[in-house]
Amino acid sequence: MKGFVMEQVRVRFAPSPTGYLHIGGARTAIYNWLFAKKHNGTFILRIEDTDAERSTQDSIQGILDGLKWLGMEWDEGPYFQSANLNAHRQAAQLLLESGHAYKCFCTKEELEAKKEAAIASKQAYKYDRTCRNLSPEEIARKEQAGIPYVVRFKIPDMQESLIFNDLVYGPIERKYEDIEDFVILRSDGSPLYLLSNAVDDINDRITHVIRGQDGLANTPRQILIYKALGAKLPQFAHMPLTLDLQKRKISKRTHGEVVSVQFYREKGFLPWALVNFLALLGWHTSDDREIFSKQELIDAFSLEGVSRSNSIFNYTPGDAKFFTDPKAISINAHYIKTMPLNELEPWVNAVLKAADIFDETFLTTQKAWYYSTIDLIRQRFHTLNDFATLGAAYFSDNFPMDSKALQKNVLKHPQLTEWLPQLAERMERLDSWTLETTEKAVRDFIAERNIASGTLINAIRTVVTGQSVGPGLFECLVIIGKDRTTARLKNTPTLF
């Protein structure tokens, strides 16, 4: 970067608020955010709410909440495109005056007929430029007559191609003759997306337009707008799309909640785990790293690592084992089991509170115990919610009893109604409550009565934790404590 002054990077995420924040949009936001952070630039949020019909306040709020939850904080905005209508109209006026645009009086019916005719004769349809060469007199007459008109952009009449270098896809070429004189202003004077979006990007001094690949086809036309307006061109970078296993674009309509960011929040995802997963869906480094801290990801990120082929969100509806892409769950589990306990703790607090099994003493007098407990059980958890479900028995006496576990490990052995209370009495007399003393008590009991050790151990686990699986039994007992353990063992007969 020596020899010239690096321009201050400004990027934006510009969603239209017509639904919740979905993972494809979130990924685009993440890439923009990473690019901004990487280059000490500015990340701008712009809500493109000019479609009043479909835009909703709920949706705007959902996008804001989703981005905040993910940690994708913006430096400027949110700006609202609807606030810039005048600037868009002025730009159109400017284009009209400079001869880069013209008024088109063709009616929708006329255009529709031409389009159908083109399709019928298997010709590619493109506006035939009927109004492009209207004389000033004709234009004045039509206007006088009150004939409504749209404003169309005048594509340069050249044989060459428009070429631009996409930072992800490389050189993209489009012949001028293949581009239609597109509409930039409706007959009611309101601007269209292609214009609004470009004008806003110019006004926001965006240096890098990082967006989904569906914007690739719009780019040549927007470049033409930039040029006609005399604006400096930004760099363009298009991201591959996220498809489902049938290679369809993911959408709420066909995929439901699983593609919304909110879903992952509710399912017990750590926001950074989702960010990490999404960043990897279509981007990679050339080494084998897949787990990145925030700073590591910022340092490693580069547009060059973005792949050009669409990536598939590996989700199978109705999968009994995986409620979303298995890799996403795997990454979430990885963070849960490896992150520093003091960072994990607040997330656990939240789910326990939501399940109404949180106790304020967990953070005061019982803090050491609380941390040990989290540390003990997190190894086999995949989501934060597991702490409140599979882990409930460690935090509260109000825990669910897994019916299969009960059936298999307890109800099959009626003698447990006597054994477990007897064992409880013996354990109550223990002077200390450690791995060694609890194990000795149980092993002695087993030896005295000649019980199969697995039978008793599994039964104890089920009665005490409500689960057939979990950490080593004695570690469980030590963590759960003497009082709770013995009380639950004594309670065994009521389970029958």
Q: Which of 60, 80, 305, 372 binds RNA (CB under 7 A)?
A: 305
Q: Give dist(CA 448, CA 442) in Å, integer.
A: 10
- Residues numbered 325 to 354 that lie near RNA (CB under 7 A) are 325-327, 329-330, 337
- Residues numbered 440 to 469 that lie near RNA (CB under 7 A) are 453-454, 457-458, 461, 468-469
The reply to whether 216 sits near RNA by the rule CB under 7 A is yes
How many residues contact RNA, by CB under 7 A?
87
Candidate list 38, 142, 227, 252, residue with the active-site label: 252
Q: Which of 58, 72, 79, 66 is nearest to 14 (CA)?
A: 79
- Residues numbered 74 to 93 that lie near RNA (CB under 7 A) are 81
- Count of all residues that appear for the chain in the document: 496
| Cα-Cα end-to-end distance for the chain | 75
**Please, where are the H alpha helices in 78-135?**
85-97, 108-120
Q: Which of 262, 314, 366, 385 binds RNA (CB under 7 A)?
A: 314
The reply to whether 282 sits near RNA by the rule CB under 7 A is yes
Judged by phi (left if over 0) then psi (alpha if -120 to 50, else beta), residue 482 lies in alpha
The label of the residue with tokens 């007459």 reads 141
- State the Rg of the chain over Cα: 32
Q: In the stretch 10-29, what mask flags binding to RNA with x, by CB under 7 A?
A: ------x-------------
Is 252 a residue of the active site? yes
Helix (H, G, I), strand (E, B) or coil at 376: helix
Q: In the stretch 380-409, what mask flags binding to RNA with x, by CB under 7 A?
A: x-----------------------------
- Residues numbered 146 to 205 that lie near RNA (CB under 7 A) are 148, 150, 169-170, 172-175, 178, 180, 183, 186-188, 190, 192-194, 196
The reply to whether 128 sits near RNA by the rule CB under 7 A is no
Taking a C-beta distance cutoff of 8 angstroms, is the pair 185, 86 a contact? Answer: no
Q: Largest alpha-carbon pair distance within the chain?
A: 111
The DSSP 8-state label assigned to residue 22 in this structure reads B
Q: Which of 64, 85, 96, 111 binds RNA (CB under 7 A)?
A: 111
CB-wise, 196 or 486, nearer to RNA? 196
- Residues numbered 223 to 242 that lie near RNA (CB under 7 A) are 240-241
- Residues numbered 47 to 76 that lie near RNA (CB under 7 A) are 48-51, 54
The window from 69-77, 260-268, 281-289, 340-348 that contacts RNA (CB under 7 A) reads 281-289
- Please, what is the angle between helix 416-428 and helix 482-490, to 10°? 150
CB-wise, 336 or 352, nearer to RNA? 336
Q: Which two tokens stand for residue 82?
A: 């609807």
Show the CA angle centred on residue 324, arms to residues 293 and 292, nearest 5°: 10
Q: Give dist(CA 90, CA 257) in Å, integer.
A: 41
Q: Which of 76, 116, 143, 214 binds RNA (CB under 7 A)?
A: 214
Active site residues: 252
